[in-house]
């Protein structure tokens, strides 16, 4: 069955780093673009980053550009988010999500989501 499982969240001080992982299973990982989306406490969904299925393209929200790096390891079927220079406002549940796709065509929405991992940035 199609599944995404995030890990790596925790409590960290401002300015420190954290690396999130998202293990994918049940589908051809290399065929799908993948996203990170976050949700701060009591707030709505905020898109964070996107990586193309082949890893050649990466896009970031302005709020994280220059601090966060998205990557993927096809041998491990895993998506990563390296978060450096963390700020209090980065506190959120971080979800990885699969962009819907069929052979040769990418849709503009996310059809599979993980349960999320919580990141708390606090001194």
Partner 1 sequence: SYVLTQPPSVSVAPGQTARITCGGNNIGSRSVHWYQQKPGQAPVLVVYDNTARPSGISERVSGSNSGSTATLSISRVEAGDEADYSCQVWDSNDDRPVVFGGGTRLTVL
- Coil/strand/helix, residue 34: strand
Q: Strands, E, within 16-122: which ranges?
A: 18-25, 34-39, 45-51, 58-60, 68-73, 78-83, 92-102, 105-113, 117-121
Q: Is 95 in the site for partner 1 (CB under 8 A)?
A: yes
Q: Is 113 in the site for partner 1 (CB under 8 A)?
A: yes
Q: Per CB under 8 A, which region of 15-23, 53-61, 66-74, 81-89 contacts partner 1?
A: 53-61
Q: What is the DSSP letter of 59?
A: E
Mask: binding to partner 1, 27-46, rule CB under 8 A, as x and -?
A: --------x-x-----xxxx
Please give the Cα distance from 46 to 56 (Å, whole number): 23
Query: Based on CB atoms, which residue is closest to partner 1, 62 or 123?
Result: 62
Please give the Cα distance from 120 to 64 (Å, whole number): 16
Rounded to the nearest whole angstrom, what is the least distance from the CB of residue 111 to partner 1 in the complex?
5
Point out which residues bind partner 1 (CB under 8 A). 35, 37, 43-47, 50, 59-62, 95, 97, 100, 107-111, 113-116
């Amino acid at each position: 069955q199609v599944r995404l499982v995030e890990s790596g969240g925790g409590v960290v001080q401002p300015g420190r780093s954290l690396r999130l992982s998202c293990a994918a299973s049940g589908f051809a990982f290399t065929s799908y673009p993948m996203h990170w989306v976050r949700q701060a406490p009591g707030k709505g969904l905020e898109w964070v980053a996107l990586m193309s299925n082949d890893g050649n393209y990466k896009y970031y929200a302005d709020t994280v550009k220059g601090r966060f790096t998205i990557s993927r390891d096809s041998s491990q079927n895993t998506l990563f988010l390296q978060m450096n220079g963390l700020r209090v406002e980065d506190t959120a549940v971080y979800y990885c999500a699969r962009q819907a796709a069929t052979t040769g065509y990418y849709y503009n929405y996310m059809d599979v989501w993980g349960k999320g991992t919580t990141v708390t940035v606090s001194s």
